Chain A
Amino acid sequence: MRLSFPQLLARIGFSALAAIIGILFALPLIWFIFAPFNARAELGIAIPDPWTLQNFLTVFGNGFAMRGLLNSLIQSVGGVILVAAAATLAAYALSRSSIPGKSIVTYVLLLFSSVVSGTAAMVPIFLIVSSVGLMDTHIAVILVFAGGLLPTAMFILRDFIDGIPKTYEESAMVAGASPVQAFFDVALPVIRPGIVVVVVWAFVNIWGSFLIPFILLRSDDLMPSSVAIYSFYSEAGTPIVTLLAAYSLIYSLPVVALYLFVSWKFGFRFFGGIKA
């Protein structure tokens, strides 16, 4: 289509406006492109001279930092396994069984999950965890995340399973499969893309979260990276900028990688749809 002159002008104007907004969004993050590779990085932007991986070596040599990454991994993986397994089973039941009151259950869950936010429930969660003696353990963080993320995970998966024709399992059963065989041989593989979505979503959520481990953990050697980074720059007086910059970058990598994976595999709308 040929553009008229005013249209062309409007298009240039829009592009310029979009570019300016893009730059404003990028500004606070540009620092992260340089500082991790600058052995003398400070809080200001400076092109590294020379570019170096020195800061990363410092991180790898820092026991507390590395321990934090490991703890983040333990808590995220533990939470993800629990969420994915429990949500898959529950969503499958909500979608495929004829248990009465399914839609009420769904409605009530949706309601509670949005009402009981981490912010509102920090006191009782703390009390529940301490009353069962799980204070300051990985398992406490994992269980709390699993419970909190499950309702949403169940909705995502239920939606997904509802969209899958029942004829997959029906054909399997007609062909002689038991319900258990039909679930594992046919249903589960077909649901897998939905489970991948939930896994990624839950991982990103747990990996990046701060409040729950901040409340439930006391010992340094259980702290995930999020709490470690926070204490690096909030409590240590003058932060060790070089270490923090490199560490933050390493800590962000899984999230970025997963995001790229998902937008490559499922398209851009995934993250939008999933939180909604």
Chain B
Amino acid sequence: MTKKRNFSLLSHRAGAAFLAPAAALVGVFVLLPFFWVIFVSFTNRTLLGKTALSPDFVGLQNYFQLFDPATFFTRGQFGFSLILTTQFVLLSALVGQALLGLLLAWLMQTIPPALKRIVETAVIAAWILPEVVIGFAWFAFLDYDNGTLNMILRGLGLPAGDFLLQQPFWVIVIFNTWRGAAFSMMLFNSAFASIPPSYFQAADVAGASSWQKFRDIGLPLIRGHVVTDLILITMWTFNVFTPFILTNGGPSYRTELLSIYNYRIAFREFDFGKGAAVGVIIMLINLIFALIYLSFGRKKAKAVEE
């Protein structure tokens, strides 16, 4: 007897045809770059000159350069950038966005709807507007002579400052917190909304304070969302390029995150081999977070099934 396939809404052949365009695009622009960047990182490929056309295989030389202990911590070098990025992620994502988002989401539960809508609009506007517009807005906001911030400071009798020059790192930390808090807020908002109101009403009847309700009911019930949020905003912040628009990585490399460092090496100094090596390291770090996230997601899916 010939074995016939089980009926399905889409035959194997049609399914393959449906998948083909996406597979081609993802293959060329996602999978291929993944392997190509690894390959290029072992060469001395440049944009111009002889090595642009016939690059040499240089083994791990690019990596040795990145991790050269003599210059590792120097400004404008890989190690400095890596540490800077780590601090940036810790402060602006894990502390800034997550905490502010959590606070906002909790406040949203109790404040009057009209106020809620206004506050949400401001927070979300910071998130959805295109990055160059945001960059320009902050450029104007921080301007030493006329900027809104200094105008307010002077109005309050406080000393004005040229913050982009004096405190560039803290500027991008606050900038990124401001820019991205909306996501955490919305995630936690929907997490809180999924808790049956009767839980909180029961606590109200028992006379719990808002803090007690948050600590004993709200937070434990959204633990899963908190983990999701932390991993996602860590990955995004780690890869973010937007501060470049505000600071160009400067002054004197003080805001040069890995993404910006990578851009400078590859497209300002035209050292593709070294830039690719940076790309590989960024991908490795992404991979770790992605695996954590996926295994966490799977565990959650399994827990739901059981």
Contact = CB atoms under 8 A, between A and B. Distances in A.
Interface of A: 1, 10-11, 14-15, 17-19, 21-32, 35, 42-45, 82, 85-87, 89-90, 92-94, 96-99, 107, 109-128, 143-144, 146-148, 150-151, 154, 166, 169-170, 173, 179, 182-183, 204, 207-211, 215, 225-227, 229-230, 233-234, 241, 244, 248, 251-252, 255-256, 259, 268-269, 271-273, 275-276
Interface of B: 5-6, 8-12, 14-16, 18-19, 21-23, 25-26, 28-34, 36-37, 40, 45, 100, 103-104, 107-108, 110-112, 115-116, 118-120, 122-141, 143, 145-149, 151-152, 178, 181, 183, 186-187, 189-190, 204, 209-210, 228, 232, 235, 239-242, 245, 248, 258-259, 262-263, 266-267, 272, 275-276, 279-280, 282-283, 286-287, 289-291, 293-294
A38 to B, nearest CB: 13
Nearest to B29: A147
B25 A112 contact: no
A103 to B, nearest CB: 11
Contact of B119 (A18, A43, A112): A18
B8 A259 contact: no
B272 A123 contact: yes
Helix, strand, loop or mixed for chain A's interface? Answer: helix
6 interchain residue pairs of minimum CB distance: A147-B29, A97-B15, A44-B146, A272-B186, A208-B130, A90-B22
A146 B235 contact: no
Given A211-B241, A215-B267, A124 B32 contact: yes
A48 to B, nearest CB: 15
B279 A255 contact: no
B107 A169 contact: no
A92 B132 CA distance: 35
Contacts of A92: 10, 18
Given A32-B137, A85-B21, A271 B146 contact: no
A124 B29 CA distance: 9
Nearest to A269: B190
Helix, strand, loop or mixed for chain B's interface? Answer: helix
Given A29-B126, A126-B266, A252-B129, A89 B136 contact: no
Nearest to B293: A114
Contacts of B245: 210, 230, 234
A208 B163 CA distance: 26
Given A42-B146, A90-B23, 19 more contacts: A14-B111, A21-B123, A24-B178, A29-B129, A31-B140, A44-B143, A92-B18, A97-B12, A99-B12, A115-B34, A115-B286, A116-B30, A121-B279, A125-B33, A146-B25, A179-B10, A208-B132, A233-B139, A244-B136
A233 B141 CA distance: 14
Contact of A120 (B37, B116, B118, B145): B37
Contacts of B110: 10-11, 14
26 contacts: A18-B107, A19-B115, A23-B122, A28-B134, A28-B148, A29-B122, A42-B146, A43-B143, A45-B151, A90-B22, A96-B10, A112-B26, A112-B34, A113-B26, A117-B239, A120-B262, A124-B32, A126-B266, A143-B29, A147-B25, A169-B9, A179-B9, A183-B10, A248-B132, A252-B130, A275-B232
